[in-house]
Amino acid sequence: MPNYLLAALVPILWGSTYAAVSLYLSDLSPFWVAVWRALPAGLLLLILKPGRPPLPWSKMTLLSVFNIAAFFPLLFIAAYRLPGSVAGTLGATLPLQLMLVQWLVEGKKPEFKMLVLALLGLGGVVLILNPSADIDPIGAAAALTATALVARSSLWLKNWPVTDIFRLTAWQLTLGGLMLVPIAFLVEGMPKALTLHELPGLLWVSLLNSSFAYWAFSRSIKKIGADSMAMISMLNPVAAVTLGIFLVGEVLGPYQWLGISIVMLSLLLMVRMKQKAVRKASLKGL
């Protein structure tokens, strides 16, 4: 259970990104916010634990592109162009996208029970979506593409032998952040001078949402599996909506609260199913 609790912190923290953008970072470029989120976090972790990457450079580069250099700008484009509940809703398609990628890449057909739970949770996420929301197509495309990148990189993390998750996180953030610098210059030009008002938001998305959350994300994939981590990611819109209510002033109706309840139910059923599978496997080994 501690592994699942740690895994649950990841989408909760990532769900807070939308509130952080609304409260502190709305005047900054999404590309430079992506740089400030990734690069300082990666360099800090490398200072704490210096050393070579735990994977070959080719694999390290792939993870850095998919998880950071491409993912962060897409995430912040979605955060700037969509309400938090909408962006979180689209991000919660991760379980279904992961099943599709596994099917296409590995030839692994979706397990029926996991597919049902994923659809159940997705149904709850759809209810969370405010029906009156005016969905921006660019923001929606960015959110879905970002989720697809996470689905693919999750399988790499699951299959590649990595023992030093801390250093893996440090190098991902550092390499990804360095890749983002020329992109940000090309797209946005010189960065805007940061103010004290923006500092809390940048510290939050860099230290907690990046340094800690990416370490916990990679560790959780190794400990509980990519499928379970994808299901738990549906806490992302729950966190986004909840923080939107208390911090940004968003108002939810009965359908949104029903959706949150359905998402939580699907997660609890998933954890229970996984626990039963682990007990059966341990009994067979006796």
pLDDT one-digit tens code per residue, 57-91: 999 999 999 999 999 999 999 888 887 777 777 88
pLDDT of 272 higher than 90: no
Tens digit of each residue's pLDDT (9 = 90 or more) over 145-174: 999 999 999 999 999 999 899 999 999 999
Q: What is the pLDDT of residues 226-268, one digit of tens each?
A: 888 888 888 888 888 788 778 877 676 787 788 878 877 887 8
Is residue 278 scored above 90 in pLDDT? Answer: no
Tell me the angle at which helices 84-91 and 235-243 cross, rounded to the nearest 10 degrees. 180
**pLDDT at res. 104:** 87
pLDDT cut 90: percent of the chain above it: 48
Q: Which one of 8-22, 27-41, 223-237 scores highest in mean pLDDT?
A: 27-41
Q: Select from 6, 3, 2, 1 the least CA-distant residue to 213.
A: 6
The overall average pLDDT reported for the chain is 87
pLDDT at position 129 over 80:
no
User: Whose CA is closest to 43, among 146, 191, 178?
Assistant: 178
Residue 50 CA to residue 174 CA, distance in Å, equals: 12
b/e string for 108-138 if b means 16 or more Cβ within 10 A?
eebeeebeebbebbbebbebbbbeeeebbee
Give 286's pLDDT tier (boundaries 50, 70, 90): low
Q: What is the pLDDT of residue 131?
A: 59
Comparing CA positions, the residue from 231, 268, 258, 257 lying closest to residue 92 is 231
Most confident option among 84-93, 112-121, 161-170, 274-283: 161-170
At 285, the pLDDT band (50, 70, 90 cuts) reads low
Quick one: pLDDT at residue 9? 94
- What does the pLDDT look like over 185-218, one tens digit per residue? 999 999 989 999 999 999 999 999 999 999 999 9
User: Has residue 103 got a pLDDT over 70?
Assistant: yes
- pLDDT at res. 221: 93
pLDDT tier for residue 279 given thresholds of 50, 70 and 90: confident
